[in-house]
Amino acid sequence: MTDILEQITNRDPAQKEFHQAVNEVLESVKPVLDRNPEYRRAAVLERITEPERVIMFRVVWMDDQEQIQVNRGFRVEMNSAIGPYKGGLRFHPSVNLGIIKFLAFEQVFKNSLTTLAMGGGKGGSDFNPKGKSDYEVMRFCQSFMGELYRHIGPNTDVPAGDIGVGAREIGYLFGMYKKLRNEFTGVLTGKSLNWGGSLIRPEATGYGTVYFAAEMLAAADQSLEGKTCLVSGAGNVAQYTVEKILELGGKTLTLSDSSGYIYDEEGIDREKLNWVMELKNIRRGRIREYIEQYPNAAYTEIESGNDFNPLWDHKADCAFPCATENEINEKDAQNLVNNGVRLVAEGANMPSTPEAVNIFVDNKLLYAPGKAANAGGVAVSGLEMAQNSMRLRWPREEVDGRLKHIMKCIHKTCLDASEEYGQPGNYVAGANIAGFVKVVNAMLDQGLV
C-alpha cells in the first residue's frame, strides 16, 4: 500500500492534492484488499490510480482590450468501468493537473455511489472568470470547446459545472459544441431549462448535502429542526444548502467568499437568501456587501496567512463547508469540536485536511465526506442525461423525489459498508469501500483494458 503511494508521489511529486485523495482511499480500502487477495493480483490499485486518459491543451482567446491571452485547458478521463466519464469543469486560477486529477479520482467513487451508470472525469482551466465581461467569458469558452469537443460526447464523456462554471459558461460551451458537431445532444449537464436542462439540477448538490445530513441525524434520532449551521462559500452549492437548511427548520449563521465571511446571528432567512442569490448570480458582487444591506450582521476579512479560519470558530450544531478543498485544517476542526458542532457534511470536494478528518472521526462527529454528501449534484446530472436520452422532462417533484431517494440509498450504502468492514458509523470508510468495490468489480469483469 505504501509502495503504491510512494510510486505515485515519485512519479508526480507536485500533485499533492491528488496524493492526499489517493492516500485517504488507500487507507480505507485496506481491509477490502486483505479480504480479497485477487484484487491485489489484478493490480487494481495501480490501475485505478492511473487516469485512462489525460488531455491538456492550449486555449487562446482575445480580451476586450484586444490583448491575446493564453490559458491551459485540462480534461482527465479517470475511469470508465461503470459508464461514460462524468464530472465537472472548474475555471479558477489555482487549477493545475494535480487538482484536476484529485477531483477526477474523487469523482470515480462518488459516481459509483450514486447508483447510476457514470464513470469519473474532471476538467477545467486556470482561466479566471472573475471580473471578465460576458463577451470575454464567451470567447474563452468557445476557444476551450474548440479543442474539448473532439474528446467528449453523450456516450463518451459528459462535463458539467464546478467552481467558476455556472449556467452562463455551460450555455457558451454547449453553443460551441453544437456548432462544431452539428448535433444537439446531452453532452453537457447543468443546461438551462428551456434547452435540455433538468429541473432541480442547480439545487441538487446543496439539497443533496442537506438530505444526507438529515439522514445522518435521523439515524441518531435527531433532526435539523432548530439546529444552528455554519456554511462556507456563497456560490451554487452554498446557496442551495442554505435554502434546504431553512426548509428543514435549521438556521444558517454564515456565508463566505475567498475575501471574507459574514456572521448573521439572526440567521439567513428566505429574503436574505434571495438577496444573496441576486448579489452572487446576477450582480456577481462580493459577500462583504451583505452588511451594507443587513447591518446587524458582521463581516470579517479572511487573511491568507492565518493558521485558522475564523468562520469555523463560532458556536453551532452543524457545519457545511461548501467553498473549496482543504478549507478546514486541524485547528479549524478542533475549533468546531470545541464550539459544540456535532455534524459536518461536505458540500465541497475534500474541504477537510486529513488531520481535520481524524479529529472528526476521533471525536465521533457525524461526518459525511464530500464524495458521499455532495453526490446529489452528479446524481441529478445523471438524471438530466436520462431525460435527454428519452427527450422528456420530468416534473420538479419527480426529480427531487429521485434525488432524495438516491441520497437515502447512498447513506445506507455507506453505513452498510462501514459495518461490513468493522468500522460501524465511519462514513469515510463506508463511502470509499462501497464506491471502490463496485468500480473494481466492473474493471475485473472487463479485463485488462
- Strand 343-345 and strand 318-320: pairing? parallel
80 binds ligand NDP (CB under 6 A): no
Which of 69, 258, 300, 358 binds ligand NDP (CB under 6 A)? It is 258
Distance of CA 230 to the CA centre of its chain: 18
- Strand 260-263 and strand 254-256: pairing? antiparallel
120 binds ligand NDP (CB under 6 A): no
* Nearest alpha carbon to residue 107 among 345, 403, 378: 378
Which of 28, 111, 236, 252 binds ligand NDP (CB under 6 A)? It is 236
From the list 38-46, 70-78, 132-140, 321-329, the region that binds ligand NDP by CB under 6 A is: 321-329
Site string for ligand NDP, 162-181 (x = CB under 6 A): xxx-x---------------
Listing from the earlier edge strand, what are the strands of the sheet with 53-62?
53-62, 68-79, 120-125, 85-91, 157-160
Cβ–Cβ < 8 Å for 328, 230: no
Phi, psi (rounded to 5 degrees) for 392: -130, 160
Q: How far apart are CA 367 and CA 150, in angstroms?
A: 40
Cβ–Cβ < 8 Å for 168, 191: no
Cβ–Cβ < 8 Å for 146, 159: no
Which of 187, 216, 323, 365 binds ligand NDP (CB under 6 A)? It is 323
Which of 121, 123, 197, 235 binds ligand NDP (CB under 6 A)? It is 235
- Nearest residue to ligand NDP, by Cβ distance, number only: 235
From the list 5-13, 17-25, 242-250, 253-261, the region that binds ligand NDP by CB under 6 A is: 253-261
Give the residue numbers annotated as catalytic, written as ranges: 122
DSSP 153: B
Residue given cell 493490480 in the structure block: 43
Choice between 55 and 262, CB closer to ligand NDP? 262
Phi, psi (rounded to 5 degrees) for 383: -70, -30
From the list 38-46, 316-324, 384-392, 439-447, the region that binds ligand NDP by CB under 6 A is: 316-324
254 binds ligand NDP (CB under 6 A): no
Minimum gap (Å) between residue 206 Cβ and ligand NDP: 8
Q: How far apart are CA 89 and CA 107, in angstroms?
A: 12
Minimum gap (Å) between residue 167 Cβ and ligand NDP: 10
161 binds ligand NDP (CB under 6 A): yes
Q: Which of residues 336-395 bind ligand NDP (CB under 6 A)?
A: 347-349, 374, 377
Binding-site ranges for ligand NDP (CB under 6 A):
161-164, 166, 205, 233-238, 257-259, 322-324, 347-349, 374, 377
